[in-house]
Amino acid sequence: MKKKIMMTALVGALAGVALSTLITLGISLMHNNGQYYPVVPELILLCKTEVSAMLVQTICSLLYGAIWALASLIWTIENWSLLKQTLVHLAVCSFGTLPIAYCLWWMPHSLPGIGFYFSLFFLIYALIWFWQFTTMKRKISQLNQQLNVRGNTNQKEL
């Protein structure tokens, strides 16, 4: 179990850095001026150099990815209800990543900035959760229909 947890954290950490890099590339491409923007300007000012800011962002991205990956293990706890899994997962992800988002200046450092961050976070989380829930519900219905068809076929043979 420890090995699975460590591997999950490692894969998540690496995915966090990869996604962070892809996001910065995407932002740089949207600016369309040939410049690469690896970090937000506020972080460079805070860290004094772009390299130091990039190091901080990389470490935070490792942590961010590991938190999300480890939080995914919550869904494997079979004796918890879906509601409990969802609430614990949401709490771990939102409160586990808020300090990282704050540190990396993904939001203004103000009460309204934090409020906006949480509002956006919860909205995106709810949309993804609802999409996954409806997708799984549809798949379960299809499986049940297939089982009913097979069950009716087997009963006719008897």
Answer yes or no: do 45 and 120 share one domain.
no
Range of the domain at 121: 111-158
Cα distance between residue 103 and residue 40, in whole Å:
11
8 Å CB contact between 50 and 44 = yes
Residue pLDDT, tens place only, 68-101: 999 999 999 999 999 999 999 999 999 999 999 9
Answer yes or no: do 81 and 130 share one domain.
no
* pLDDT confidence bin for 146, thresholds 50/70/90: confident
* pLDDT confidence bin for 157, thresholds 50/70/90: low
Q: Which two tokens stand for residue 48?
A: 């004094």
Answer yes or no: do 12 and 37 share one domain.
yes
pLDDT at 11: 97
pLDDT at 34: 87
Answer yes or no: do 125 and 142 share one domain.
yes
Answer yes or no: do 90 and 45 share one domain.
yes
Answer yes or no: do 86 and 126 share one domain.
no
Element (H, E) at 26: helix 2-31
Residue pLDDT, tens place only, 9-67: 999 999 999 999 999 999 889 988 888 988 999 999 999 999 999 999 999 999 999 99
Cα distance between residue 90 and residue 94, in whole Å:
6
Answer yes or no: do 101 and 155 share one domain.
no
Place of tokens 């590991």: 66
Answer yes or no: do 85 and 119 share one domain.
no
Give how many domains the chain has, as a whole number: 2
Answer yes or no: do 102 and 123 share one domain.
no
Answer yes or no: do 17 and 55 share one domain.
yes
Q: Which two tokens stand for residue 70?
A: 């480890």
Q: Which of the pair, 61 or 155, is modelled with greater confidence?
A: 61
Q: Which two tokens stand for residue 131?
A: 């999409």
Cα distance between residue 92 and residue 81, in whole Å:
16
What letter does residue 40 receive in the DSSP assignment? -
Cα distance between residue 12 and residue 66, in whole Å:
5
Answer yes or no: do 21 and 34 share one domain.
yes
Q: Does residue 109 surpass a pLDDT of 80?
A: yes
Q: What is the DSSP string of 77-143?
A: -TTS-HHHHHHHHHHHHHHHHHHHHHHTTSS-SSHHHHHHHHHHHHHHHHHHHHHHHHHHHHHHHHH
pLDDT at 150: 74
Answer yes or no: do 84 and 119 share one domain.
no
End-to-end CA distance of the chain: 45
Q: Does residue 158 surpass a pLDDT of 60?
A: no
Residue pLDDT, tens place only, 112-144: 999 999 999 999 999 999 999 999 999 999 999
